[in-house]
Amino acid sequence: MVSGIAVRELHEVGEYLQVVRLFGGIWGPDLQPVTIEMMRALAHSGNYVAGAFDGESLVGASVAFLAMPAGRALHSHITGAAGAGRGIGLALKLHQREWALARGIERITWTYDPLVRRNAYFNLVKLGARPEEYLPSFYGPMEDAINAGDETDRMLAVWRLNAPHVAAAARREPYPVVVPRDAVVGLESRDGRPVVGRWDAPVVLVEVPPDITAMRREDPGAAKAWRYALRDTLCGLLGDGARIIGFHNKSYYVVERSQAGVTE
């Protein structure tokens, strides 16, 4: 239990209706990421459908299904929480981790918008997941309350459940990523706009804006510029063999380049 939040698996149609209503309040009524029928089928066939409760009130939910390689991976399709800063998302993910480990599952994957700073921090720092693949326009156009007006680029996060840094994060112990003094900035914000910098060092810092959701509403042009700049930067670095090893100062992806790809 985290911060008074209790998490348990869901098995009843009435519980799934509560999830539908919760998600509708988050993403808006025009986009429903899961249906009652889908949750019923997934849970009945041994997949993961869970809810987070504050007393009797459903305040979060998560739906995941078994993935390849068979018996070793789980893909978390959707997780949503009512309100930030209450520990609901963390409680759900820790429950999901324990559920997976009890079944011999070694890793959990999910996608997230790499431009959303708070999600990057949560996934990489609070959980210890690592982004391993950049997926441009993964879901196609979406017109929900969160994604409308932007392309649906996603990062595939991989949570290796038995990794030392993941186990430390689950115990809420610090496991900092050390940024060397000779790290360079590959993408940064100047007056709210993205500016491409240098990539010619073993470690490259890649900044994301503080609040891309607000920027989509207030300055769509700047939001699109950030989308394309981050896409080009991370796709370029990952395509060159680099790997993302952390998130620094709640602002920057920490990208470690292979020595073969570093030009002095």
Task: Give, in degrees to the nearest 5, the angle at Cα 148 between 136 and 91.
Answer: 80
Q: Is residue 1 part of a domain?
A: no
Q: Is residue 175 part of a domain?
A: no
Contact status, residue 137 vs residue 131, Cβ threshold 8 Å: no
Q: Are residues 243 and 136 in the same domain?
A: no
CATH code, domain carrying 30: 3.40.630.30
Q: Are residues 91 and 215 in the same domain?
A: no
Closest CA to 37 of 17, 52, 57, 22: 17
Element (H, E) at 154: strand 154-160
Q: Are residues 27 and 132 in the same domain?
A: yes
Q: Are residues 162 and 63 in the same domain?
A: yes
Note down pLDDT in tens along the chain; length 264 residues: 566 899 999 999 999 999 999 999 988 877 788 999 999 999 999 999 999 999 999 999 999 999 999 899 999 999 999 987 789 999 999 999 999 999 999 999 999 999 999 999 999 999 999 999 999 999 876 565 455 556 899 999 999 999 999 999 999 998 888 999 999 999 999 999 999 999 999 999 999 999 999 999 999 999 999 999 999 999 999 999 999 999 999 999 999 997 645 544
Q: Are residues 12 and 59 in the same domain?
A: yes
Q: Is residue 223 part of a domain?
A: yes
3-class secondary-structure state, position 147 = coil
Last residue of a domain, one of 143, 170, 197: 170
Last residue of a domain, one of 170, 200, 218: 170
Contact status, residue 202 vs residue 256, Cβ threshold 8 Å: yes
DSSP labels, 50-84: EEEEETTEEEEEEEEEEESSTTTEEEEEEEEESSS
Last residue of a domain, one of 139, 170, 201: 170
- Domain with 119, as residue range(s), is 6-170
Q: Are residues 207 and 165 in the same domain?
A: no
Domain count, the chain: 2
**What pTM was computed for the model?**
0.92
Q: Are residues 165 and 88 in the same domain?
A: yes
